[in-house]
Amino acid sequence: MAEKSTAAAVLERYDIRPSANTRAELILPLLHFDITWLYFHPVQRLLFFDSPCSKAHFLETIVPKLKESLQQTLNHFLPLAGNIVHPLNSGRPFSRFVDGDSVSLTIAESDKDFDYLTVNHPRVADEFYACVPQLPPAKHTPDDVILPVLALQITLFPNRGVCLGITNHHAIGDASSIVRFIKAWASVNRSSGDPKLIDDKLLPFYDRTSVEDPEGLDSSYWNLIKQSRAVESPPISFPLNKVRSTFILTKDDVQKLKHFVLERRPEMHITAFTVTCALVWVCLVKVDAATEALADDEPEYFGFAADCRGRLSPPLPASYFGNCLAFVKAESTHGLLKGNDGFLFAAQSIGEAIQKTVYNEKGILDGAENWPREFGKLIGKRLFGVAGSPRFDLYDVDYGWGRPKKFESASIDGDSSMSLCKSRDFEGGLEIGLSRPKEKLDAFAAILTEALEKL
Protein backbone atom coordinates (compact mmCIF):
# COMPACT_ATOMS: atom_id res chain seq x y z
CA MET A 1 0.00 0.00 0.00
CA ALA A 2 1.03 3.59 -0.57
CA GLU A 3 1.61 5.61 2.54
CA LYS A 4 -0.47 8.74 2.07
CA SER A 5 1.56 11.82 2.88
CA THR A 6 -1.43 14.01 2.01
CA ALA A 7 -4.30 11.93 3.36
CA ALA A 8 -7.88 13.15 3.66
CA ALA A 9 -9.87 12.71 6.86
CA VAL A 10 -11.67 9.36 6.70
CA LEU A 11 -15.29 9.72 7.80
CA GLU A 12 -16.54 6.17 7.18
CA ARG A 13 -15.42 2.89 5.66
CA TYR A 14 -17.87 0.39 4.20
CA ASP A 15 -17.65 -3.02 2.62
CA ILE A 16 -20.36 -3.03 -0.04
CA ARG A 17 -21.67 -6.47 -0.99
CA PRO A 18 -23.88 -7.33 -3.93
CA SER A 19 -27.48 -8.11 -2.97
CA ALA A 20 -28.13 -11.41 -1.24
CA ASN A 21 -30.29 -12.65 -4.11
CA THR A 22 -27.41 -12.66 -6.62
CA ARG A 23 -25.60 -15.84 -7.60
CA ALA A 24 -23.53 -17.41 -4.85
CA GLU A 25 -20.37 -17.84 -6.93
CA LEU A 26 -18.81 -16.73 -10.19
CA ILE A 27 -15.41 -18.05 -11.29
CA LEU A 28 -13.70 -16.82 -14.44
CA PRO A 29 -10.30 -18.04 -15.62
CA LEU A 30 -7.73 -15.37 -16.34
CA LEU A 31 -6.84 -15.59 -20.01
CA HIS A 32 -3.57 -14.48 -21.61
CA PHE A 33 -5.14 -11.05 -22.11
CA ASP A 34 -5.51 -10.79 -18.30
CA ILE A 35 -2.36 -12.61 -17.20
CA THR A 36 -0.29 -9.98 -19.01
CA TRP A 37 -1.39 -7.41 -16.43
CA LEU A 38 -1.09 -9.58 -13.31
CA TYR A 39 1.97 -7.77 -11.93
CA PHE A 40 1.14 -4.33 -13.30
CA HIS A 41 0.63 -1.42 -10.90
CA PRO A 42 -2.99 -0.60 -9.93
CA VAL A 43 -4.94 1.71 -12.24
CA GLN A 44 -6.13 4.88 -10.50
CA ARG A 45 -8.73 7.28 -11.87
CA LEU A 46 -10.15 10.44 -10.33
CA LEU A 47 -13.35 12.22 -11.32
CA PHE A 48 -13.94 15.66 -9.78
CA PHE A 49 -17.52 16.98 -9.72
CA ASP A 50 -18.30 20.66 -9.20
CA SER A 51 -21.25 19.98 -6.89
CA PRO A 52 -21.29 22.18 -3.80
CA CYS A 53 -22.94 20.61 -0.77
CA SER A 54 -22.69 20.69 3.00
CA LYS A 55 -21.13 17.90 5.04
CA ALA A 56 -24.55 17.08 6.49
CA HIS A 57 -26.17 16.76 3.06
CA PHE A 58 -23.22 14.71 1.85
CA LEU A 59 -23.45 12.19 4.69
CA GLU A 60 -27.23 12.06 5.01
CA THR A 61 -28.26 12.07 1.35
CA ILE A 62 -25.43 11.56 -1.15
CA VAL A 63 -23.53 8.76 0.63
CA PRO A 64 -26.56 6.52 1.38
CA LYS A 65 -27.69 6.86 -2.23
CA LEU A 66 -24.22 5.98 -3.52
CA LYS A 67 -24.02 2.92 -1.28
CA GLU A 68 -27.40 1.65 -2.47
CA SER A 69 -26.68 2.28 -6.14
CA LEU A 70 -23.24 0.65 -5.82
CA GLN A 71 -24.80 -2.49 -4.38
CA GLN A 72 -27.34 -2.60 -7.21
CA THR A 73 -24.61 -2.13 -9.81
CA LEU A 74 -22.32 -4.78 -8.33
CA ASN A 75 -25.14 -7.30 -8.85
CA HIS A 76 -24.22 -7.06 -12.54
CA PHE A 77 -20.44 -6.73 -12.02
CA LEU A 78 -19.73 -9.53 -9.55
CA PRO A 79 -16.03 -9.97 -10.46
CA LEU A 80 -15.35 -6.46 -9.15
CA ALA A 81 -16.63 -7.50 -5.74
CA GLY A 82 -14.53 -10.65 -5.82
CA ASN A 83 -10.80 -11.33 -5.92
CA ILE A 84 -8.07 -12.66 -8.14
CA VAL A 85 -6.74 -15.97 -6.84
CA HIS A 86 -3.04 -16.37 -7.63
CA PRO A 87 -1.89 -19.99 -7.10
CA LEU A 88 1.58 -20.43 -5.64
CA ASN A 89 2.10 -24.05 -6.58
CA SER A 90 -0.07 -25.37 -9.40
CA GLY A 91 -2.82 -24.13 -11.71
CA ARG A 92 -3.43 -20.78 -13.39
CA PRO A 93 -4.85 -17.63 -11.76
CA PHE A 94 -8.57 -16.96 -11.85
CA SER A 95 -11.17 -14.43 -10.78
CA ARG A 96 -13.54 -15.62 -8.06
CA PHE A 97 -16.61 -14.07 -6.50
CA VAL A 98 -18.29 -15.91 -3.63
CA ASP A 99 -21.20 -14.86 -1.47
CA GLY A 100 -19.91 -12.44 1.18
CA ASP A 101 -17.28 -10.78 -0.99
CA SER A 102 -17.38 -6.99 -1.13
CA VAL A 103 -15.89 -3.77 -2.44
CA SER A 104 -14.11 -1.34 -0.13
CA LEU A 105 -15.79 2.11 -0.14
CA THR A 106 -14.11 4.94 1.77
CA ILE A 107 -15.93 8.17 2.62
CA ALA A 108 -13.52 11.03 3.24
CA GLU A 109 -13.33 14.80 3.65
CA SER A 110 -10.58 17.06 2.34
CA ASP A 111 -9.70 20.65 3.15
CA LYS A 112 -7.56 21.00 0.03
CA ASP A 113 -8.28 23.59 -2.64
CA PHE A 114 -10.78 22.02 -5.05
CA ASP A 115 -10.17 24.71 -7.67
CA TYR A 116 -6.40 24.14 -7.54
CA LEU A 117 -6.82 20.41 -8.17
CA THR A 118 -9.18 20.86 -11.11
CA VAL A 119 -7.29 23.31 -13.32
CA ASN A 120 -4.94 22.44 -16.19
CA HIS A 121 -1.75 24.19 -15.11
CA PRO A 122 0.98 22.39 -13.08
CA ARG A 123 -0.08 21.01 -9.71
CA VAL A 124 1.92 19.02 -7.17
CA ALA A 125 1.23 15.35 -7.90
CA ASP A 126 1.26 14.32 -4.22
CA GLU A 127 -1.80 16.48 -3.54
CA PHE A 128 -4.11 14.16 -5.46
CA TYR A 129 -3.47 11.12 -3.27
CA ALA A 130 -5.86 12.43 -0.64
CA CYS A 131 -8.54 11.23 -3.07
CA VAL A 132 -6.96 8.00 -4.34
CA PRO A 133 -8.25 4.80 -2.68
CA GLN A 134 -5.84 1.96 -1.97
CA LEU A 135 -6.63 -1.66 -2.77
CA PRO A 136 -7.01 -3.72 0.41
CA PRO A 137 -3.91 -5.80 1.20
CA ALA A 138 -3.58 -9.25 -0.33
CA LYS A 139 -4.37 -12.28 1.80
CA HIS A 140 -1.83 -15.09 1.87
CA THR A 141 -2.53 -18.79 2.32
CA PRO A 142 -0.10 -21.72 1.92
CA ASP A 143 -1.43 -22.34 -1.60
CA ASP A 144 -2.67 -18.96 -2.89
CA VAL A 145 -2.45 -15.22 -2.76
CA ILE A 146 -5.88 -13.56 -2.76
CA LEU A 147 -5.81 -10.16 -4.47
CA PRO A 148 -8.67 -7.63 -4.09
CA VAL A 149 -9.47 -5.98 -7.41
CA LEU A 150 -11.41 -2.77 -6.69
CA ALA A 151 -11.39 0.06 -4.17
CA LEU A 152 -13.55 3.19 -4.23
CA GLN A 153 -13.43 6.51 -2.40
CA ILE A 154 -15.80 9.47 -2.31
CA THR A 155 -14.10 12.61 -1.02
CA LEU A 156 -16.04 15.70 0.01
CA PHE A 157 -14.67 19.19 -0.47
CA PRO A 158 -17.22 20.97 1.75
CA ASN A 159 -19.41 23.45 -0.11
CA ARG A 160 -17.27 23.01 -3.23
CA GLY A 161 -17.49 19.56 -4.77
CA VAL A 162 -16.78 15.84 -4.54
CA CYS A 163 -14.21 13.51 -6.04
CA LEU A 164 -14.81 9.89 -7.00
CA GLY A 165 -11.64 7.81 -6.83
CA ILE A 166 -11.48 4.40 -8.52
CA THR A 167 -8.54 2.02 -8.12
CA ASN A 168 -8.59 -1.36 -9.82
CA HIS A 169 -6.25 -4.26 -10.44
CA HIS A 170 -5.55 -4.20 -14.18
CA ALA A 171 -5.81 -8.00 -14.48
CA ILE A 172 -9.54 -7.86 -13.67
CA GLY A 173 -10.42 -5.62 -16.60
CA ASP A 174 -9.21 -3.04 -19.09
CA ALA A 175 -10.50 0.49 -19.53
CA SER A 176 -13.47 -0.69 -21.58
CA SER A 177 -14.68 -2.91 -18.72
CA ILE A 178 -14.02 -0.47 -15.86
CA VAL A 179 -15.52 2.53 -17.65
CA ARG A 180 -18.67 0.50 -18.33
CA PHE A 181 -18.91 -0.20 -14.59
CA ILE A 182 -18.42 3.49 -13.75
CA LYS A 183 -21.12 4.52 -16.22
CA ALA A 184 -23.53 1.80 -15.05
CA TRP A 185 -23.10 2.90 -11.42
CA ALA A 186 -23.69 6.51 -12.44
CA SER A 187 -26.84 5.51 -14.31
CA VAL A 188 -28.27 3.67 -11.30
CA ASN A 189 -27.38 6.49 -8.91
CA ARG A 190 -28.88 9.12 -11.21
CA SER A 191 -32.11 7.12 -11.50
CA SER A 192 -32.50 6.81 -7.72
CA GLY A 193 -31.33 3.22 -7.45
CA ASP A 194 -33.32 1.63 -10.28
CA PRO A 195 -30.98 -0.97 -11.88
CA LYS A 196 -33.52 -1.59 -14.66
CA LEU A 197 -32.48 1.74 -16.16
CA ILE A 198 -28.91 0.58 -16.86
CA ASP A 199 -28.30 0.74 -20.59
CA ASP A 200 -28.10 -2.82 -21.91
CA LYS A 201 -24.91 -1.83 -23.74
CA LEU A 202 -23.21 -1.38 -20.37
CA LEU A 203 -24.06 -4.83 -18.99
CA PRO A 204 -21.04 -7.15 -19.01
CA PHE A 205 -20.58 -10.28 -21.14
CA TYR A 206 -18.66 -12.96 -19.21
CA ASP A 207 -18.39 -15.99 -21.52
CA ARG A 208 -14.65 -16.77 -21.59
CA THR A 209 -15.23 -19.77 -23.86
CA SER A 210 -15.94 -17.25 -26.62
CA VAL A 211 -12.23 -16.38 -26.66
CA GLU A 212 -10.45 -18.90 -28.81
CA ASP A 213 -6.86 -19.84 -27.94
CA PRO A 214 -5.59 -22.15 -30.68
CA GLU A 215 -1.95 -21.21 -30.04
CA GLY A 216 -2.07 -22.03 -26.31
CA LEU A 217 -1.29 -18.44 -25.31
CA ASP A 218 -2.98 -18.80 -21.89
CA SER A 219 -0.53 -21.48 -20.77
CA SER A 220 2.56 -19.99 -22.39
CA TYR A 221 1.91 -16.52 -20.93
CA TRP A 222 1.39 -17.94 -17.46
CA ASN A 223 4.49 -20.14 -17.61
CA LEU A 224 6.55 -17.13 -18.61
CA ILE A 225 5.06 -14.43 -16.40
CA LYS A 226 4.86 -16.40 -13.15
CA GLN A 227 8.66 -16.53 -13.09
CA SER A 228 9.16 -12.82 -13.58
CA ARG A 229 8.07 -10.81 -10.55
CA ALA A 230 6.63 -10.68 -7.07
CA VAL A 231 2.86 -11.06 -6.74
CA GLU A 232 2.16 -7.64 -5.20
CA SER A 233 3.02 -4.26 -6.69
CA PRO A 234 5.65 -2.17 -4.87
CA PRO A 235 4.35 0.74 -2.79
CA ILE A 236 4.36 4.35 -3.91
CA SER A 237 6.99 6.48 -2.19
CA PHE A 238 6.37 10.12 -1.31
CA PRO A 239 7.28 12.76 -2.18
CA LEU A 240 6.91 11.99 -5.87
CA ASN A 241 8.79 15.16 -6.84
CA LYS A 242 6.49 15.57 -9.83
CA VAL A 243 3.82 17.96 -11.01
CA ARG A 244 0.93 17.10 -13.30
CA SER A 245 -0.52 19.23 -16.07
CA THR A 246 -3.26 18.90 -18.64
CA PHE A 247 -2.70 20.05 -22.21
CA ILE A 248 -5.55 20.61 -24.67
CA LEU A 249 -5.45 19.96 -28.39
CA THR A 250 -8.48 21.48 -30.09
CA LYS A 251 -10.12 19.92 -33.12
CA ASP A 252 -8.43 22.60 -35.21
CA ASP A 253 -5.02 21.67 -33.75
CA VAL A 254 -5.58 18.01 -34.61
CA GLN A 255 -6.67 18.83 -38.15
CA LYS A 256 -3.57 20.98 -38.66
CA LEU A 257 -1.34 18.16 -37.41
CA LYS A 258 -2.99 15.67 -39.76
CA HIS A 259 -2.72 18.08 -42.68
CA PHE A 260 0.97 18.69 -41.89
CA VAL A 261 1.69 14.95 -42.11
CA LEU A 262 -0.46 14.19 -45.15
CA GLU A 263 1.02 17.10 -47.09
CA ARG A 264 4.43 15.46 -46.73
CA ARG A 265 3.47 11.79 -46.42
CA PRO A 266 0.24 11.43 -48.45
CA GLU A 267 0.46 7.64 -48.39
CA MET A 268 0.21 7.44 -44.59
CA HIS A 269 -2.93 6.38 -42.71
CA ILE A 270 -3.27 9.14 -40.12
CA THR A 271 -5.69 9.48 -37.21
CA ALA A 272 -6.12 11.96 -34.37
CA PHE A 273 -4.58 9.37 -32.05
CA THR A 274 -1.51 8.96 -34.27
CA VAL A 275 -0.66 12.64 -34.60
CA THR A 276 -1.39 13.42 -30.94
CA CYS A 277 0.86 10.65 -29.67
CA ALA A 278 3.54 11.54 -32.19
CA LEU A 279 3.52 15.18 -31.09
CA VAL A 280 3.79 14.33 -27.39
CA TRP A 281 6.48 11.71 -28.03
CA VAL A 282 8.67 14.13 -29.97
CA CYS A 283 8.25 16.94 -27.45
CA LEU A 284 9.24 14.61 -24.60
CA VAL A 285 12.29 13.43 -26.53
CA LYS A 286 13.34 17.02 -27.20
CA VAL A 287 13.03 17.86 -23.50
CA ASP A 288 15.42 15.03 -22.66
CA ALA A 289 17.74 15.93 -25.52
CA ALA A 290 18.29 19.32 -23.89
CA THR A 291 19.21 17.89 -20.49
CA GLU A 292 20.76 14.45 -21.11
CA ALA A 293 23.72 13.23 -23.16
CA LEU A 294 22.00 10.68 -25.42
CA ALA A 295 23.51 9.18 -28.54
CA ASP A 296 21.70 9.72 -31.83
CA ASP A 297 21.38 5.96 -32.31
CA GLU A 298 19.75 5.48 -28.88
CA PRO A 299 16.49 3.58 -29.49
CA GLU A 300 13.24 5.37 -28.61
CA TYR A 301 10.04 3.36 -28.07
CA PHE A 302 6.38 4.29 -27.84
CA GLY A 303 4.00 1.60 -26.61
CA PHE A 304 0.22 1.39 -26.33
CA ALA A 305 -2.64 -1.08 -26.29
CA ALA A 306 -5.36 -1.61 -28.90
CA ASP A 307 -8.78 -3.10 -28.17
CA CYS A 308 -9.08 -6.56 -29.75
CA ARG A 309 -12.76 -7.29 -29.12
CA GLY A 310 -14.05 -6.57 -32.60
CA ARG A 311 -10.95 -7.90 -34.35
CA LEU A 312 -10.81 -11.45 -33.01
CA SER A 313 -12.13 -14.40 -34.98
CA PRO A 314 -14.90 -14.76 -34.05
CA PRO A 315 -15.28 -11.20 -32.71
CA LEU A 316 -16.30 -10.57 -29.11
CA PRO A 317 -19.11 -8.20 -28.13
CA ALA A 318 -18.02 -4.73 -27.05
CA SER A 319 -19.39 -5.54 -23.58
CA TYR A 320 -16.95 -8.45 -23.03
CA PHE A 321 -15.71 -8.09 -19.44
CA GLY A 322 -12.02 -8.50 -18.77
CA ASN A 323 -8.92 -7.52 -20.69
CA CYS A 324 -8.82 -7.79 -24.46
CA LEU A 325 -5.87 -5.76 -25.65
CA ALA A 326 -3.13 -6.12 -28.23
CA PHE A 327 0.28 -4.59 -27.66
CA VAL A 328 1.54 -2.09 -30.22
CA LYS A 329 5.14 -0.89 -30.23
CA ALA A 330 6.52 1.98 -32.31
CA GLU A 331 10.29 2.37 -32.58
CA SER A 332 12.64 5.10 -33.76
CA THR A 333 15.94 6.66 -32.70
CA HIS A 334 16.80 9.63 -30.55
CA GLY A 335 18.57 11.40 -33.42
CA LEU A 336 15.58 11.16 -35.77
CA LEU A 337 13.01 12.28 -33.21
CA LYS A 338 14.93 15.26 -31.86
CA GLY A 339 15.58 16.63 -35.37
CA ASN A 340 13.52 19.08 -37.41
CA ASP A 341 11.47 16.27 -38.97
CA GLY A 342 11.02 14.43 -35.70
CA PHE A 343 7.24 14.77 -35.71
CA LEU A 344 7.01 13.19 -39.17
CA PHE A 345 9.26 10.30 -38.15
CA ALA A 346 7.22 9.75 -34.99
CA ALA A 347 3.90 9.80 -36.84
CA GLN A 348 5.26 7.41 -39.45
CA SER A 349 6.59 5.03 -36.79
CA ILE A 350 3.31 4.99 -34.85
CA GLY A 351 1.23 4.67 -38.02
CA GLU A 352 3.32 1.74 -39.28
CA ALA A 353 3.13 0.02 -35.89
CA ILE A 354 -0.67 0.29 -35.97
CA GLN A 355 -0.79 -1.09 -39.50
CA LYS A 356 1.52 -3.96 -38.56
CA THR A 357 -0.54 -5.06 -35.55
CA VAL A 358 -4.10 -3.75 -35.65
CA TYR A 359 -4.61 -4.18 -39.40
CA ASN A 360 -2.43 -7.28 -39.78
CA GLU A 361 -3.81 -9.48 -42.57
CA LYS A 362 -3.08 -12.56 -40.45
CA GLY A 363 -5.09 -11.15 -37.55
CA ILE A 364 -4.45 -8.83 -34.64
CA LEU A 365 -2.92 -11.65 -32.55
CA ASP A 366 -0.29 -12.53 -35.13
CA GLY A 367 2.97 -12.72 -33.19
CA ALA A 368 1.20 -12.48 -29.80
CA GLU A 369 3.27 -15.38 -28.47
CA ASN A 370 6.27 -13.02 -28.55
CA TRP A 371 4.66 -9.97 -26.91
CA PRO A 372 5.69 -10.69 -23.29
CA ARG A 373 9.34 -11.18 -24.28
CA GLU A 374 9.33 -8.19 -26.63
CA PHE A 375 8.01 -5.83 -24.01
CA GLY A 376 10.15 -7.42 -21.31
CA LYS A 377 13.18 -6.34 -23.32
CA LEU A 378 12.02 -2.72 -23.06
CA ILE A 379 12.46 -2.59 -19.27
CA GLY A 380 15.10 0.03 -18.59
CA LYS A 381 14.88 1.39 -22.14
CA ARG A 382 13.56 4.78 -23.25
CA LEU A 383 9.88 3.92 -23.44
CA PHE A 384 6.88 6.25 -23.47
CA GLY A 385 3.27 5.13 -23.54
CA VAL A 386 -0.41 5.98 -23.34
CA ALA A 387 -2.93 5.36 -20.57
CA GLY A 388 -6.58 5.66 -21.57
CA SER A 389 -8.20 6.40 -24.88
CA PRO A 390 -10.54 9.00 -26.41
CA ARG A 391 -12.90 6.06 -27.07
CA PHE A 392 -13.85 5.95 -23.37
CA ASP A 393 -15.46 9.27 -22.52
CA LEU A 394 -15.56 9.77 -18.76
CA TYR A 395 -16.74 13.35 -19.18
CA ASP A 396 -20.23 12.10 -20.00
CA VAL A 397 -20.50 10.29 -16.64
CA ASP A 398 -23.33 11.78 -14.54
CA TYR A 399 -24.16 10.55 -11.03
CA GLY A 400 -26.87 13.17 -10.74
CA TRP A 401 -24.38 15.96 -10.03
CA GLY A 402 -23.72 16.94 -13.64
CA ARG A 403 -20.69 16.14 -15.78
CA PRO A 404 -17.26 15.88 -14.15
CA LYS A 405 -15.29 19.10 -13.97
CA LYS A 406 -11.99 17.24 -14.29
CA PHE A 407 -10.61 13.78 -14.97
CA GLU A 408 -7.19 12.77 -13.74
CA SER A 409 -5.29 9.53 -14.29
CA ALA A 410 -3.27 9.26 -11.08
CA SER A 411 -1.57 6.09 -12.36
CA ILE A 412 0.70 8.01 -14.72
CA ASP A 413 2.71 9.24 -11.72
CA GLY A 414 4.21 5.75 -11.51
CA ASP A 415 5.50 5.35 -15.07
CA SER A 416 6.37 7.30 -18.21
CA SER A 417 2.87 7.23 -19.72
CA MET A 418 0.69 10.11 -20.77
CA SER A 419 -3.06 10.01 -20.25
CA LEU A 420 -5.35 10.67 -23.20
CA CYS A 421 -9.08 11.34 -23.28
CA LYS A 422 -11.71 13.44 -24.98
CA SER A 423 -11.70 17.11 -24.10
CA ARG A 424 -14.41 18.23 -21.73
CA ASP A 425 -14.84 21.68 -23.19
CA PHE A 426 -13.76 21.48 -26.83
CA GLU A 427 -15.82 19.34 -29.21
CA GLY A 428 -13.48 17.10 -31.15
CA GLY A 429 -10.56 18.07 -28.94
CA LEU A 430 -8.30 15.92 -26.79
CA GLU A 431 -6.87 16.19 -23.26
CA ILE A 432 -3.31 15.08 -22.60
CA GLY A 433 -2.20 14.46 -19.03
CA LEU A 434 1.47 14.36 -18.03
CA SER A 435 3.28 13.92 -14.72
CA ARG A 436 6.95 14.94 -14.68
CA PRO A 437 9.47 16.90 -12.61
CA LYS A 438 8.49 20.56 -12.82
CA GLU A 439 11.45 21.74 -14.87
CA LYS A 440 10.82 19.04 -17.48
CA LEU A 441 7.09 19.73 -17.64
CA ASP A 442 7.74 23.45 -18.09
CA ALA A 443 10.15 22.66 -20.91
CA PHE A 444 7.62 20.31 -22.51
CA ALA A 445 4.94 23.03 -22.40
CA ALA A 446 7.24 25.50 -24.14
CA ILE A 447 8.22 23.03 -26.87
CA LEU A 448 4.61 21.97 -27.41
CA THR A 449 3.42 25.58 -27.70
CA GLU A 450 6.16 26.37 -30.20
CA ALA A 451 5.33 23.28 -32.28
CA LEU A 452 1.64 24.18 -32.49
CA GLU A 453 2.39 27.79 -33.40
CA LYS A 454 4.45 26.65 -36.37
CA LEU A 455 1.59 24.69 -37.93
Catalytic residues: 170, 398
- For CA atoms 64, 67, 73, 75, give the dihedral sign: negative
The total number of residues shown for the chain amounts to 455
- Give the Cα separation of 11 and 392 in Å (integer): 31
Backbone angles phi, psi at 51, to 5 degrees: -140, 85
CB atoms near residue 270 (< 10 Å): 20
- Give the Cα separation of 314 and 365 in Å (integer): 12
Q: Which residues pair with 12 in a beta bridge?
A: 107
Q: Do 388 and 409 form a contact (C-beta atoms < 8 A)?
A: yes
In the chain, the amino acid numbered 269 is H
- Give the Cα separation of 338 and 333 in Å (integer): 9
- Give the Cα separation of 45 and 132 in Å (integer): 8
- Give the Cα separation of 137 and 147 in Å (integer): 7
- Give the Cα separation of 339 and 228 in Å (integer): 37
Provide the 8-state DSSP code for 148. Answer: E
Q: Which residues pair with 92 in a beta bridge?
A: none
Strands 94-98 and 83-87: antiparallel
Which H or E run includes 305?
strand 299-307
- Give the Cα separation of 306 and 302 in Å (integer): 13
Backbone angles phi, psi at 244, to 5 degrees: -120, 140
Strands 243-249 and 430-436: antiparallel
